Structure 1
Amino acid sequence: MPRAGRRSLAITASVALLAGALPTAAFAQLPSTDDPRVGLGGGAFDAETATLGMEQTGFFDKRESPFFDPATSLSPNVAAAIGTANSDMAFTGDHVIHGNWRGFQIYDISDPSNPTLRTEVLCPGGQGDVNVHGNLLFHSVEQATARVDCGAQGTLPGDQPDPERFRGVRIWDISDLDNPFQVAAVQTCRGSHTNRLVEDPNDPTRVYIYNNGTSTFRHPDEEPGCTDHPLTTDPVTDENVDRWQIEVIEVPLANPAAARIVNEARLFADEETGALNGLNNTQSGALHPCATAAEGSCAPAGAAYSPLPNTNTCHDITAYPEIGLAAGACQGNGILIDISDPADPVRIDAVADPNFSYWHSANFSNDGTKVLFTDEWGGGTGPRCAANHQLSWGANALFEIVDGKLEFASYYKLPAPQTNTENCVAHQANIVPVPGRDVIVQAWYQGGISMFDWTDPKNPFEIGYFDRGPIDEEVMILGGHWSGYWYNGNVFGAEIARGLDVLDLTPTDDLTANEIEAAKTVQLDEHNAMSMRMITWEPSFPLIRATIDQLARDGSLAANKAKQVYGFVERAERFADGPQRNAAKPQLQNALKQLNSADHQRLIDAINDVMATL
Structure 2
Amino acid sequence: MNRTSPQGSRWRARTLAAVGALALGISMMSATAAVADTDADPREGLAAGLHDAGQAASNIALLSAQQKQSPFTTNSDLAFTGDYAIAGNYFGFQIYDISNPAAPSLSGTFVCPGGQGDVSVFGDLLFMSVESAPGRLDCGATPSPATSDPQNFRGVRVFDISDILNPVQVTAVQTCRGSHTHTVVEDPDDAENVYVYVSGTAGVRTTSPNVPGGCTNVNGNTVESQLDADGNPILGSRFLVEVIKVPLANPAAAEVVNHARLFTDAETGSPAGLWPGGSHGEGMQSTSATDACHDITAYPEIGLAAGACEGNGILIDISDPANPMRIDQVTDPRFAYWHSATFNNDGTKVVFTDEWGGGSGARCRAQDPLNWGANAIFDIVEGKLEFRSYYKMPAVQTATENCVAHNGSLIPVPGRDIMVQAWYQGGLSVFDFTDSANPVEIAFFDRGPNSATSLVTGGYWSTYWYNGHVYGNEIGRGFDSLALQPSEHLSANEIAAAGEYVVGLFNAQAQPKYVHAPSFAVVRSYVDQAERAGTLSGKALVDVRGHVDKAETLAAKGNAGSVVDHLTNAARKSGAAPDSALVQALAALAATLG
Please, what TM-score do these two structures have when normalized by structure 1? 0.89
Residue 57 (str. 1) matches residue 82 (str. 2): no
Residue in 2 that maps onto 1:67: 71
Check the 8 A contact 1:226/1:242 in 2, yes or no: yes
Residue in 2 that maps onto 1:296: none
Residue in 1 that maps onto 2:535: 556
- Where does 1:176-215 land on structure 2 (aligned, <5 Å)? 176-215=163-202
Residue in 1 that maps onto 2:428: 449
CA distance in 2, matches of 1:474, 1:559: 55
Residue in 2 that maps onto 1:277: 272
Task: Flag the 1:253–1:31 CA change in 2: closer, same or farther, 3 A.
Answer: farther
Q: What is the one-letter code of the residue matched to 2:142?
A: Q
- Where does 1:95-114 land on structure 2 (aligned, <5 Å)? 95-114=84-103
Q: Deviations over 1:320-366 (max 9, x none)?
A: 01111100000000000111111111111100111000000000000
Residue 570 (str. 1) matches residue 557 (str. 2): no
Residue in 1 that maps onto 2:23: none
Task: Flag the 1:58–1:211 CA change in 2: closer, same or farther, 3 A.
Answer: same
CA distance in 2, matches of 1:31, 1:348: 40
Q: For 1:487, which of 441, 449, 466 is the aligned residue? A: 466
Residue 415 (str. 1) matches residue 404 (str. 2): no
Check the 8 A contact 1:330/1:359 in 2, yes or no: yes
CA distance in 2, matches of 1:438, 1:139: 30
Residue in 1 that maps onto 2:25: none
Deviation at 1:597, TM superposition (A): 4.6
Secondary structure at the aligned position of 2:542 is classed as helix
Residue in 2 that maps onto 1:243: 238
Residue in 1 that maps onto 2:37: none
Q: Deviations over 1:89-130 (max 9, x none)?
A: 000000001100001111100011111111111000001111
Q: What is the one-letter code of the residue matched to 1:516?
A: I
Residue in 2 that maps onto 1:71: none
Deviation at 1:217, TM superposition (A): 1.3
CA distance in 1, matches of 2:550, 2:272: 64
Task: Flag the 1:31–1:151 CA change in 2: closer, same or farther, 3 A.
Answer: farther
Choose 268-277 or 363-372, whichever is displaced more: 268-277
Q: List alignment gaps of at least 5 residues for structure 2.
A: 17-39, 228-232
Deviation at 1:486, TM superposition (A): 0.4
CA distance in 2, matches of 1:322, 1:579: 36
Q: For 2:50, which of 24, 44, 47 is the aligned residue? A: 44
CA distance in 2, matches of 1:156, 1:477: 30
CA distance in 1, matches of 2:42, 2:463: 20
Deviation at 1:231, TM superposition (A): 2.5
Residue in 1 that maps onto 2:8: 24
Task: Flag the 1:232–1:604 CA change in 2: closer, same or farther, 3 A.
Answer: closer
Q: What is the one-letter code of the residue matched to 1:365?
A: N
CA distance in 1, matches of 2:265, 2:558: 68
Q: Deviations over 1:362-416 (max 9, x none)?
A: 0000000000100000111111111100001000000000011100001000111
Q: What is the one-letter code of the residue matched to 2:131?
A: E
Secondary structure at the aligned position of 1:372 is classed as strand
Q: For 1:467, which of 446, 470, 473 is the aligned residue? A: 446
CA distance in 1, matches of 2:560, 2:577: 30
Q: What is the one-letter code of the residue matched to 2:295?
A: D
CA distance in 2, matches of 1:349, 1:320: 16
Deviation at 1:197, TM superposition (A): 0.4
Residue 141 (str. 1) matches residue 136 (str. 2): no
Q: Deviations over 1:214-259 (max 9, x none)?
A: 1111133423420012124334134341111110000111111111
Q: For 2:381, which of 402, 405, 412 is the aligned residue? A: 402
Q: For 1:163, which of 139, 143, 150 is the aligned residue? A: 150
CA distance in 2, matches of 1:505, 1:559: 28
Residue in 2 that maps onto 1:118: 107
Deviation at 1:585, TM superposition (A): 2.4
Residue in 2 that maps onto 1:78: none
Deviation at 1:601, TM superposition (A): 2.1
Deviation at 1:32, TM superposition (A): 4.5
CA distance in 2, matches of 1:439, 1:579: 35
CA distance in 2, matches of 1:402, 1:292: 30
Q: For 2:341, which of 359, 362, 372 is the aligned residue? A: 362
Check the 8 A contact 1:235/1:276 in 2, yes or no: no
Q: What is the one-letter code of the residue matched to 1:511?
A: L
Residue in 1 that maps onto 2:592: 613
Residue in 2 that maps onto 1:598: 577
Deviation at 1:173, TM superposition (A): 0.3
- Where does 1:235-314 land on structure 2 (aligned, <5 Å)? 235-237=225-227, 238-283=233-278, 286=279, 292=283, 305=286, 308-314=287-293
Check the 8 A contact 1:316/1:361 in 2, yes or no: yes
Deviation at 1:584, TM superposition (A): 2.3
Q: What is the one-letter code of the residue matched to 2:261?
A: R
Check the 8 A contact 2:458/2:475 in 1, yes or no: yes
Identity %: 52
Task: Flag the 1:473–1:30 CA change in 2: closer, same or farther, 3 A.
Answer: same
Secondary structure at the aligned position of 1:378 is classed as coil
Check the 8 A contact 1:30/1:389 in 2, yes or no: no
CA distance in 2, matches of 1:112, 1:220: 47
Aligned length: 562
Q: Deviations over 1:559-612 (max 9, x none)?
A: 321111101111111121235455322222321221335387211111111111
Secondary structure at the aligned position of 1:519 is classed as helix
CA distance in 1, matches of 2:442, 2:305: 27
CA distance in 2, matches of 1:333, 1:201: 28
Secondary structure at the aligned position of 1:576 is classed as helix
Check the 8 A contact 1:551/1:600 in 2, yes or no: no
Residue 326 (str. 1) matches residue 330 (str. 2): no
Secondary structure at the aligned position of 1:342 is classed as coil
CA distance in 1, matches of 2:159, 2:536: 52
Residue in 2 that maps onto 1:151: 140
Check the 8 A contact 1:557/1:600 in 2, yes or no: no
CA distance in 2, matches of 1:574, 1:272: 66
